[in-house]
Amino acid sequence: MTATLNPFGLSLFDSIGGKFRGQSNIYPLVVTNVSLGISDPVSPAAAGGTIGSGVGPGLVTNGATTAVAQTAGVFQSVTYINSQGQTVVANYWPANQAVYAGTVPYVNVNDDPYAEFTIQCNAQLNANGQSFVHKNYDFVPPATNVPNQASGISTVSLNVASYSQSSARSLRITGLAPSSTISNQWSDAFPIVKVIINNHAYRAPQAGL
């Protein structure tokens, strides 16, 4: 059972037989003072325009004191030129990483508005799990979500206490995540669920049930 909290961010869910990966695009990273790990949610930068006009993403702040209206997708990797002039491709961006003068880092973001992900809940839901399908939640406040520096993997989880019918919530549960390696039940201490990004920058948000 999922009895231990070991969050891994938003992991892209593979549809049975289809191996659907969804679209991804490259964006300049203009908010560079926040660490990003693979599977971290990212958002359009707060100033200067939108993702569509070329302004890059930074870590979402949904569930914190300053919430963003949109989530652009999920961070996959970053490419930048370091101060020695070497090109670096990595799945982890350390906050305030130095880059070669006159250059900017670029991030690969899975920005498919209909992609489905798995994410671990930060607390128990309850035994009547099917009732949580189509309900909306936020991420755990990002101040507590520093990526794992050794693995580069996100530590973002779903904040069970953030449930709301509001369309402004970041995540919408679509089901319980299947697993062939662990027992994963709605009633577990920290269940893993399937979600879509509800406040996606490329799709209208939906109110929860």
**Segment 8-33, tens digit of pLDDT:** 999 988 654 445 567 888 888 876 77
Whether the per-residue pLDDT at 84 is higher than 90: the answer is yes
Closest CA to 95 of 31, 8, 139, 51: 31
Share of the chain above pLDDT 70, in %: 78
Q: For 109-143, write each residue's pLDDT tens digit.
A: 888 898 999 999 999 887 555 688 899 998 886 55
**Sheet hosting strand 192-197, strand order edge to edge:** 11-12, 116-120, 192-197, 171-176, 136-139, 158-164
Q: What is the mean pLDDT of residues 156-173?
A: 89
State both tokens at 26. 């490259």
Q: Helix, strand or coil for residue 188?
A: coil
